[in-house]
């Protein structure tokens, strides 16, 4: 039956010829596992399309339902965790394989003539993939998504002259909200995937025109003798690797399903500005003092990555030697090593400072609690529902925002929490424009007291255990009695 | 200068034949050999193109060795070679389709090997796709078959219904939780305060009186309530129908189905009578279970 259909089509459009052209691509030196990465990227992209479409069956790209609909997918819909898990881990896997693929092409010198155009289109593809990661990050509309993306958009804002326009364009106005989600959604599900398809098609077309580069060493006559067609052995090797990638995605989704933090709250004074891991290096770069200030940020966030990509784009024109052996190209290979080492160092610092910044510390929290209700007199303006009554016998003031939920802000990546809170204590109006909260210095808080205060804010739902609380209240009473005396 | 087809080929001592084909390396995309048809016997041999080959205007190809060397060169067997597309070799070669051949890969001759890899790849493809079939199916059908909502819904105060046997259209609001959000839907039903005769008339049939869960468990029986409530949807295709006071009948404007006050079909395309709903009186309020029945079917099949 299938044969008849095949014949029928073949008679009309020469299916056989088309098939031969696609499958009988000669690979110098024969099929290898070293060549599987490009196909694997295409495979993950296909998986992303499938899982992405499936998620759109339930996802609602509006600020009042995006988060709820993701929670619905994760908690209610059968296998929703699997679909979202594959999509979530797939995006990371794509970045990883992209780096591997590009590194291999770089090391093997496969970007050299006549494959310059393949390389350039490949770099464009890399940028589309990064853009997909960035825009997709916002869509669940949880705290992490919201604050991560806001920071990202602000980075676009530091570009001189057009920065403000760019940031407004991405946000759909002056602040991140309703239209921002719409814009990110349409960029993520329409514009970038279509660009990716077009560019990937071009990438493949150019690649087939120029032919595979083959191994970087070996006698041409020998490689010619050992050549094999793409089909079937390379196809087989590609599929073996695809199966491994697939199993890894499913396994990761099962063991670590993607999380969904509390719903985005633009008013929450605590946020966690950590981006996806593949932006961590640049995130850390921006923390370096030389990249502080508006110009510094521009240099760190735009110029440095821009120069890096510029260098990659011009690589085939800078390096025109025929030599492809990585050991005989010390500058290129050395540069690659330097690049990886610095990326890893930056990421390492970002991760380790994140962990060092905040950890539960009962003593510190207790001290912070004392400062909150005495020296800082924070309760005059803020409410912590429940705790206020227990400690002062009355709810706190309503001048400032309630801090009741402050402790619910995700603590897993609290580097941002501590940093932001301290920054905010020092100069509230800078981070929350219009705030009338007095800066910490005006209240006479030291750096250590501020740290204790933030630990309390991040911890307070736990309160103090029974006995500690009694002792604490007594201490407060004597303190206020002493304060009342003069 | 390039070697061209039909060029004469000479060894240093004498002419030997002419070039009949060119052979390309797909690895380097250069011409590596040429096929020479010998004048003496018409045999074709494969001669390497290398430092000992020089091309002269004429065009003429000169091999810088004596003719005896040709003895050791392999014969040309067409089956060992495949034609390659013009697109695949570099334009600087100035050759045309059909003139250039490349070595057919040795490994690809073994058909059983090809078949093995073909099936192995297919098996792997199945290992990737088949495990997804069930999850994706379950994922997609998740919201399709939900249990019925048997909550009682207030229609309005009973004493607001007019004298016996004249139906009124009552609007009620439902706020079902649909997937991840609460939705607000306005619905309607026809309510009648019924005379004993009408009650008997309507509730004589089981499906009008007894209501069951999807699994057949009875949930309610319209017994001892002097109210009748009809679902606001026409059983034909779900339009909203009206009460015609002069002729005392329900008329559906869509396809003109006409029903009596007792719900029976008088004429028109509707497949069954009007659907009664479970009804009760609580605290002076008429309450119903907001059931919906599949339109267009002969039997009364609950879907909501
Ligand atoms: S829908 Fe009422 S008659 Fe067709």
User: Which region among A26-35, A119-128, A133-142, B141-150 has the lowest average model confidence (pLDDT)?
Assistant: B141-150
* A277 and A372 in a common domain: no
Helix or strand or coil: residue B54? strand
* A387 and A319 in a common domain: no
Of the pLDDT bands very low, low, confident and very high (cuts 50, 70, 90), residue B55 is confident
* A245 and A135 in a common domain: yes
pLDDT computed for residue A409 by the predictor: 57
Counted across chains A and B, CB pairs separated by less than 8 A come out at: 101
* A377 and A312 in a common domain: no
Does residue A369 sit within a domain? Answer: yes
Distance B241 CA to ligand 1 centre (A): 8
Rounded to whole angstroms, how far apart are CA atoms B128 and A239?
9
Q: CATH code at A423?
A: 1.10.760.10
Q: pLDDT digit string (tens) for A386-439?
A: 788 877 778 888 888 888 777 665 443 334 566 667 777 887 876 676 788 888
The answer to whether the Cβ–Cβ distance between B181 and A233 falls below 8 Å is no
Query: Is residue A442 pLDDT above 50, yes or no?
Result: yes
Does residue A9 sit within a domain? Answer: no
The three-state DSSP-derived secondary structure of A394-441 is: CCCCCCCCCCHHHHHCCCCCCHHHHHHHHHHHHCHHHHCCCCCCCCHH
Of the candidates B287, B286, B289, B228, the one whose C-alpha atom is nearest the C-alpha of residue B259 is: B228
Does residue A7 sit within a domain? Answer: no
* A472 and A378 in a common domain: yes
Residue B28 Cα to chain centre, angstroms: 45
pLDDT computed for residue A444 by the predictor: 85
Cβ < 6 A, ligand 1 pocket: B 234, 236-239, 252, 254-255, 257, 268-270
Does residue A95 sit within a domain? Answer: yes
Distance A334 CA to ligand 1 centre (A): 79
Does residue A8 sit within a domain? Answer: no
pLDDT computed for residue A424 by the predictor: 79
Rounded to whole angstroms, how far apart are CA atoms A31 and A40?
15
* A435 and A351 in a common domain: no
Q: Give the CA distances from residue A66 to residues A56, A142, B288, in Å, rounded to whole numbers and listed in that order.
A: 11, 9, 34
Cβ count near A41 (within 10 Å): 22
Looking at A297, A322, A356, the residue that finishes a domain is: A356
Q: Name the token pair of A220.
A: 């041409």
Q: pLDDT digit string (tens) for B224-277?
A: 888 999 999 999 999 999 999 999 999 999 999 999 999 999 999 999 999 999
Q: Are strands B279-282 and B242-244 parallel, antiparallel or unpaired?
A: unpaired
Q: Name the token pair of A104.
A: 């291999």
The vertex-A269 CA angle with A263 and A271, nearest 5°, equals: 60
Write out chain B residues lying below 8 Å of A232, CB-based. Answer: 114, 117-118, 121
- Pocket probe mutation, ligand 1, options B235, B255, B265, max atoms within 8 Å of Cβ: B255
Q: pLDDT digit string (tens) for A178-190?
A: 999 999 999 999 9
Q: pLDDT digit string (tens) for B91-129?
A: 666 777 778 888 999 889 899 999 999 999 999 999 999
Query: Residues of B101-127 as b/e, b for ≥16 C-beta within 10 angstroms?
Result: bbbbbeebeeeeebeebeebbeebeee
* A209 and A99 in a common domain: yes
Q: Is the complex ipTM more than 0.85?
A: no
CATH homologous superfamily of B152-289 equals: Rieske [2Fe-2S] iron-sulphur domain (2.102.10.10)
| Chain A CB within 8 Å of residue B124 CB | yes
* A389 and A291 in a common domain: no
* A387 and A302 in a common domain: no
Residues B148 and A262 sit within 8 Å (Cβ to Cβ): no
Q: CATH code at A180?
A: 1.20.810.10
Domain count, chain A: 2
Q: What is the mean pLDDT of chain A?
A: 86
Looking at A356, A383, A412, the residue that finishes a domain is: A356
User: Which region among A76-80, B55-59, B110-114 has the lowest average model confidence (pLDDT)?
Assistant: B55-59
- Greatest mean pLDDT among A172-181, A365-374, A415-424: A172-181
Looking at A332, A356, A380, the residue that finishes a domain is: A356
Does residue A323 sit within a domain? Answer: yes
Residue with tokens 């290129």: A332
* A228 and A94 in a common domain: yes
Q: pLDDT digit string (tens) for B203-222?
A: 887 778 889 887 888 889 99
Of the pLDDT bands very low, low, confident and very high (cuts 50, 70, 90), residue B90 is low
Does residue A11 sit within a domain? Answer: no
* A179 and A47 in a common domain: yes
User: Which region among A118-127, A213-222, A350-359, B110-119 has the lowest average model confidence (pLDDT)?
Assistant: A350-359
* A167 and A106 in a common domain: yes
Does residue A295 sit within a domain? Answer: yes
Average pLDDT score over residue span B27-51: 90
pLDDT computed for residue B88 by the predictor: 61
Residue A394's domain spans which residues? 362-484
Q: pLDDT digit string (tens) for A298-321?
A: 888 889 999 999 999 999 999 999
How much is the pTM? 0.80
Determine what percent of chain A is predicted with pLDDT higher than 70: 90
Query: Is residue A482 pLDDT above 70, yes or no?
Result: no
């Amino acid at each position: 039956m299938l044969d008849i259909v095949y014949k029928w089509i073949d008679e009309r459009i020469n299916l056989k010829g088309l098939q031969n052209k696609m499958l009988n691509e000669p690979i110098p030196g024969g099929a290898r596992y070293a060549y599987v990465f490009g196909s694997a990227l295409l495979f993950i992209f296909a998986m992303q399309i499938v899982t992405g479409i499936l998620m759109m069956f339930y996802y609602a790209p509006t600020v009042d339902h995006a988060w709820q609909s993701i929670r619905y997918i994760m908690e209610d819909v059968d296998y929703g965790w699997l679909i979202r898990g594959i999509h979530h881990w797939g995006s990371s896997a794509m970045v990883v394989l992209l780096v591997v693929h590009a590194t291999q092409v770089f090391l093997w010198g496969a970007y050299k003539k006549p494959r310059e155009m393949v390389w350039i289109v490949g770099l464009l593809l890399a940028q589309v993939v990064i853009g997909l990661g960035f825009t997709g990050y916002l869509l669940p509309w949880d705290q992490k998504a919201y604050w991560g993306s806001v920071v990202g958009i602000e980075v676009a804002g530091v570009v001189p002259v057009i920065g403000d326009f760019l940031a407004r364009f991405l946000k759909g106005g002056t602040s991140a909200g309703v239209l921002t989600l719409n814009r990110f959604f349409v960029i993520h599900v329409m514009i970038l995937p279509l660009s990716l398809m077009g560019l990937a098609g071009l990438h493949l077309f150019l690649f087939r025109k120029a032919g595979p580069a083959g191994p970087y060493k070996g006698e041409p006559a020998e490689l010619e003798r050992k050549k094999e067609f793409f089909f079937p052995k390379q196809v087989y090797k590609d599929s073996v690797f695809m199966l491994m990638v697939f199993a890894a995605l499913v396994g990761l989704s099962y063991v670590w399903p993607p999380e969904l933090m509390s719903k985005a709250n633009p008013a929450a004074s605590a946020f966690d500005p950590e981006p996806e891991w593949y932006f961590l290096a640049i995130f850390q770069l921006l923390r370096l003092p030389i990249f502080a200030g508006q110009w510094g940020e521009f240099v760190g966030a735009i110029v440095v990555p821009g120069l890096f990509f510029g260098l990659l784009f011009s690589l085939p024109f800078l390096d025109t030697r025929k030599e492809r052996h990585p050991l005989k190209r010390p500058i290129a290979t050395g540069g690659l090593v330097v690049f990886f080492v610095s990326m890893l160092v930056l990421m390492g610092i970002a991760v380790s400072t994140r962990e060092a910044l905040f950890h539960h510390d009962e003593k510190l929290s207790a001290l912070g609690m004392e400062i909150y209700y005495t020296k800082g007199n924070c309760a005059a303006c803020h409410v912590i529902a429940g705790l206020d009554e227990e400690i002062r016998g009355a709810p706190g003031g309503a001048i400032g925002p309630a801090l009741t939920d402050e402790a619910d802000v995700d603590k897993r990546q609290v580097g941002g929490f501590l940093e932001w809170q301290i920054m905010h204590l020092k100069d509230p109006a800078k981070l929350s424009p219009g705030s009338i909260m007095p800066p910490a210095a005006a209240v006479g808080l030291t750096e250590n007291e501020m740290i204790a205060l933030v630990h309390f804010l991040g911890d307070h739902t736990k309160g103090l255990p029974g006995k500690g609380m009694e002792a604490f209240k007594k201490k407060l009473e004597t303190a206020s009695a002493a304060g009342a005396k003069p | 200068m390039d070697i061209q087809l039909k060029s004469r080929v000479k060894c240093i001592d004498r002419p030997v034949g002419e070039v009949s084909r060119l052979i390309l390396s797909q690895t380097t995309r250069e011409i590596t050999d040429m096929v020479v048809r010998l004048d003496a016997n018409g045999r074709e041999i494969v001669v390497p193109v290398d430092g000992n080959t020089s091309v002269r205007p004429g065009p003429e190809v000169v091999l810088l060795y004596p003719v005896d060397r040709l003895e050791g060169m392999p014969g040309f067997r067409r089956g060992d070679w495949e034609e390659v597309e013009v697109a695949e070799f570099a334009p600087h070669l100035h050759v045309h389709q059909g003139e250039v051949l490349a070595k057919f890969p040795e490994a690809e001759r073994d058909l059983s090997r090809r078949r093995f890899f073909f099936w192995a790849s297919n098996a792997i493809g199945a290992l990737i796709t088949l495990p997804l079939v069930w999850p994706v199916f379950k994922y997609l059908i998740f919201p399709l078959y939900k249990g019925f909502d048997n909550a009682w819904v207030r229609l309005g105060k009973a004493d607001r219904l007019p004298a016996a046997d004249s139906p009124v259209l009552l609007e009620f609001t439902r706020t079902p939780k649909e997937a991840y959000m609460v939705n607000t839907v306005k619905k309607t039903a026809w309510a009648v305060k019924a005379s004993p005769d009408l009650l008997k008339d309507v509730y004589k049939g089981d499906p009008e009186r007894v209501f069951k869960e999807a699994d057949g468990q009875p949930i309610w029986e319209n017994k001892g309530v002097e109210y009748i409530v009809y679902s606001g949807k026409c059983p034909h295709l779900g339009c909203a129908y009206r009460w015609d006071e002069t002729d005392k009948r329900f008329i559906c404007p869509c396809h003109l189905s006409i029903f009596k006050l007792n719900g029976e079909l008088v004429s028109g395309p509707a497949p069954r009578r009007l659907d009664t709903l479970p009804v009760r009186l609580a605290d002076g309020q008429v309450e119903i279970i907001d059931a919906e029945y599949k339109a267009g079917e002969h039997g009364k099949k609950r879907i909501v």
